[in-house]
Amino acid sequence: MTSIRFPSPMRVVVRDWSNANHVLFLGRETTLVDTGYGDCFADTLARLHDPEVLGERRLDRIVNTHGHSDHIGGNAALKRLYGSRISVPEGEAAHFAAWDTRALWLDYADQKAERFVHDDVLRPGEVVEMGGMDWQALAAPGHDMDALVFYCPEERLLISGDALWANGFGVVLPSEGQQRLAATRATLEMIARLDVRATIPGHGAPMADTGGALERAFARVEAFEADPGRMARNCVRVMLMYALMHRRRLKLADLPAYVQRIDVHREYNEAHFRLPPERYAEMLVGDLEKAGAARRENGWLVPA
Ligand SMILES: [Zn+2]
């Protein structure tokens, strides 16, 4: 793996699939991009307290790439602790203000996050100063229609959130006319026009080969364009896997009732699969097993 050098005021904390990566900037002001999942806050804080990261300093500002539970989960607790100012993408502001748990994929997808109050908004096209560097906030709709990515032309660095990973991007919901998928493609095209030496994705290690990541992401878009059924199936499988990671286990006997209760599953089953809940649940479990993501154990579904 190529080692990537970051400017000295910048700290990249790589997390996991339940928690988005953190990018911390130590400047005149300290700024943290994305705050992890709420249930994992103790771990998030331990990582921030590392003397090589934030240490004893105060966290002045939080910036979110978008409004999902694994990116905003630490917002409320960090604000309580440090009085941090919270800046959110302009398009998400109404969702946060109303705490729209459907738009934020919270109870809608069996995810949790503590409610917080944001202080200001970031508009697409705006330049945000972080760690003494100028970062352009660029609209990156698709996975989240209101997401932003942050690009520093001087350093040729990109913070891509869930818009671009090493192998794809965050789950894209099938939608009427596939606007979300079209937006995903347009966002990748926008990123392809940037001069980038390294990308820090929302999940996974920072990558020097942004071109390779884009190629894989475009291939995924094409596969979804060719087969909307596959896209819907991928979407519900990913949603169940995220819930499973946070719940740690799900009782197999309860799954038919679960998929009836959680909106994303009930609605996508009605729209795309039209299966009795038992068979729909069985399909999801089978898909997760086949992907090597989960397994059955004494009547429970557990992450593999
Ligand atoms: Zn996301």
DSSP of the chain: -------TTEEEE---SSS--EEEEESSSEEEE----GGGHHHHHHHHHSTTTTTTS---EEE-SS--HHHHTTHHHHHHHH--EEEEEGGGHHHHHHT-TTTTTSGGGT---------EEE-TT-EEEETTEEEEEEE--SSSTT-EEEEETTTTEEEEETS-BTTB-S-----GGGHHHHHHHHHHHHHHTS--SEEEESSS--BS-HHHHHHHHHHHHHHHHH-HHHHHHHHHHHHHHHHHHHHS-EEGGGHHHHHHHSHHHHHHIIIII---HHHHHHHHHHHHHHTTSEEEETTEEEE-
Distance from the CA of 151 to the center of ligand 1, in angstroms?
Answer: 18
- What residues contact 78, with CB distance under 8 A and at least 6 apart? 32, 35, 59, 62, 84
* pLDDT single digits (tens) 144-170: 999 999 999 999 999 999 999 999 999
The whole-angstrom separation of Cα 102 and Cα 246 is 18
Check residue 175 and give its pLDDT.
86
For 176-206, b/e burial (b = at least 16 CB within 10 A) is eebebbebbbebbebbeebebebbbbbbbeb
* pLDDT single digits (tens) 239-277: 999 999 999 999 999 999 999 999 999 999 999 999 999
Distance from the CA of 66 to the center of ligand 1, in angstroms?
Answer: 7
- What residues contact 225, with CB distance under 8 A and at least 6 apart? 178, 181
Distance from the CA of 170 to the center of ligand 1, in angstroms?
Answer: 6
Q: Is the pLDDT of residue 2 over 60?
A: no
Check residue 295 and give its pLDDT.
98
pTM equals 0.96
| Spatial CA neighbour of 285 closest among 266, 269, 300 | 300
* pLDDT single digits (tens) 172-202: 999 888 999 999 999 999 999 999 999 999 9
Q: Which domains does the chain have, with CATH numbers?
A: 10-226 (3.60.15.10), 228-303 (1.10.10)
* pLDDT single digits (tens) 63-90: 999 999 999 999 999 999 999 999 999 9
Q: Is the pLDDT of residue 40 over 60?
A: yes
Distance from the CA of 298 to the center of ligand 1, in angstroms?
Answer: 32
The whole-angstrom separation of Cα 190 and Cα 133 is 21
Distance from the CA of 148 to the center of ligand 1, in angstroms?
Answer: 11
Distance from the CA of 203 to the center of ligand 1, in angstroms?
Answer: 10
Q: Among 3-7, 22-26, 199-203, whose mean pLDDT is lowest?
A: 3-7
Q: Percent of the chain scored above 70 by pLDDT?
A: 99
Distance from the CA of 132 to the center of ligand 1, in angstroms?
Answer: 27
* pLDDT single digits (tens) 104-141: 999 999 999 999 999 999 999 999 999 999 999 999 99
Check residue 247 and give its pLDDT.
94
Tell me the longest C-alpha to C-alpha distance in the chain: 58
Name residue 23's beta-bridge partners.
12, 33
Distance from the CA of 158 to the center of ligand 1, in angstroms?
Answer: 16
Check residue 177 and give its pLDDT.
82
Tell how strand 120-122 and strand 127-130 pair up.
unpaired
Distance from the CA of 275 to the center of ligand 1, in angstroms?
Answer: 28
Q: Is the pLDDT of residue 213 over 70?
A: yes
